[in-house]
Structure 1
């Protein structure tokens, strides 16, 4: 079974959430982070007859509050539900990470096992005399499988030193989640690879339009005229061009054919160069915020165009 995790998003708070989840020093991560299927062999493993401890689990059920290690002014909440779900949420940004947990016992020791993105993490926990939940060595390795919307992997372990203990305060026994909170889905490496290819193609097409306009002084809606050797359709994407104004702007789209893929759209537009004070062809590339097979809206032609609704800017040059 795959456990949901968030991906590359257009929001910097996703990276902050991943950092909050990667609670382990570089020395200890190898001991606590393993594929879910192999978690049972950690140390000597969870015994074949895993002992579930409902009484211990019940102590966790509810909503707890923590602060990020680097900024105590930004509170996060962690929700443990009675059916084994675990959520880390930024309540003001309305975005979160979903995982699953179990309480297990081995050789007289009680553990909190967290499953996240197909991986498992074993940690210890306790509740102190003040009622605070103390979690030791919580590490969710699948967080590092995700990139932000620019396609760069967040640098966590090895570049950010994290404490190996969290203190949480119970703020409610309620586990009901705000319906407006977004939990971005797990994205496989295969999907990321396809989307990376689509981003490359939209960039190539934009550069083709720039070169074509430099030579012809107008824009074309025929992909073959750009001389790029790109077909109008591939297995996973279709390539479309709309001339917004033959002398001013052209919009290209790499549109997904599958429901789990993001789409991409680009704009090449003519503007005045502030340095040379002459017309130049600028390029803008945008990515859909969510997977979509729907054609994007047309760009509004202004002096400084922005991405259409539902899309975020990847690059401008």
Structure 2
């Protein structure tokens, strides 16, 4: 009689260990979906930051190349080809270029025009500015405040006090 109870108990235990219930599987899938929904936007933002690093690096390189070009040729370069950099004018994410001011011995503006509305555009300026009684060649890298396809607002050159600043709608970045 005791043996019959043990066998019945073992059969009952075996039936409970055969798998998951529908409720357990559903709860697991719901929790997994919630975690994925939380992580996915963060993952996309990291991918965009990596793409923006390309533009930040290229504009910084163009700024430094403009400094060297000014020292060698006494004027800023008016095109990417004149800078001597191995930077293509357009990649999958950005279009790059440079423009000089009315006098190509005073300042040049570099830009990374975003080709996607999910990326921020960048701009930079290299200029001869007054520092007391001395003149210095300085650079500035600016990031647009908003993600948008197109160019970032061009940095400002103040001819009165020969200073540079990021335009409204953009902020200064470390180079």
TM-score over 0.5 for the pair: yes
Looking at structure 2, the residues matched to 264 and 305 of structure 1 have their Cα atoms a distance apart, in angstroms, of 16
Task: Specify the alignment match of 2:104 in structure 1.
Answer: 246
Q: 3-state DSSP class of the match of 2:27?
A: coil
Deviation track 1:139-158 (CA, whole Å, cap 9, x = no partner) reads xxx5xx7xxxxxxxxxxxxx
What RMSD in Å do the two structures reach over aligned CA positions? Answer: 2.6
**Aligned partners of 1:257 and 1:292: how far apart in 2?**
8
Unaligned runs of 5+ in 2: 1-22
Matches within 5 A, 1:4-19: none
CA shift, 1:195, in A, is 0.7
Alignment partners' CA distance in 2, 1:298 and 1:290: 14
Aligned length: 145
The question of 1:292 aligning with 2:148 is answered yes
Give ranges in structure 1 of 5+ residues lacking alignment: 1-45, 52-101, 105-112, 120-141, 146-185
1:48 alignment counterpart = 25
Hey, which of these two has a bigger chunk of strand by percent? 1
In our comparison, the structure showing a higher alpha carbon Rg is 2
User: Aligned with 1:296: secondary structure?
Assistant: coil
Residue of structure 1 in register with 2:123 after alignment: 265
TM-score, with structure 2 as normaliser: 0.72
Contact 2:95–2:113, Cα closer than 8 Å, also in 1: yes
Q: Displacement of 1:116 after TM fit?
A: 2.2
CA distance in 1, matches of 2:155, 2:129: 15
CA distance in 2, matches of 1:284, 1:299: 8
Provide, for residues 158-207 of structure 1, a one-character-per-residue CA deviation record: whole Å limited to 9, x for no partner. Answer: xxxxxxxxxxxxxxxxxxxxxxxxxxxx51x3222111111110100000
Residue number in structure 1 paired with 2:50: 193
Matched, 1:307 2:163: no
For residues 258 and 211 of structure 1, the distance between their equivalents in structure 2, rounded to whole angstroms, comes to: 31
SS of residue in 2 equivalent to 1:117: helix
2: distance between equivalents of 1:259 and 1:289?
13
Aligned to 2:84: 227
Point out the structure with the larger helix share.
2
**Counterpart for residue 113 of structure 2:** 255
TM-score, normalised to structure 1's length?
0.41
CA deviation vs aligned residue, 1:238-289 (integer Å, no higher than 9, x gap): 1111111312111010111122111110000101234xx4222100001111
Counterparts of residues 29-40 of structure 1 (less than 5 Å): none
User: Structure 1's 50 and 296: CA in aligned 2 closer, same or farther, altered over 3 A?
Assistant: closer
Please state whether the residue corresponding to 2:68 is helix, strand or coil: helix
CA distance, structure 2, for counterparts of residue 261 and residue 278 of structure 1: 39
Equivalent residue for 2:38, pick from 107, 116, 121 = 116
How far the C-alpha of 1:301 sits from its partner, in A, is 1.4
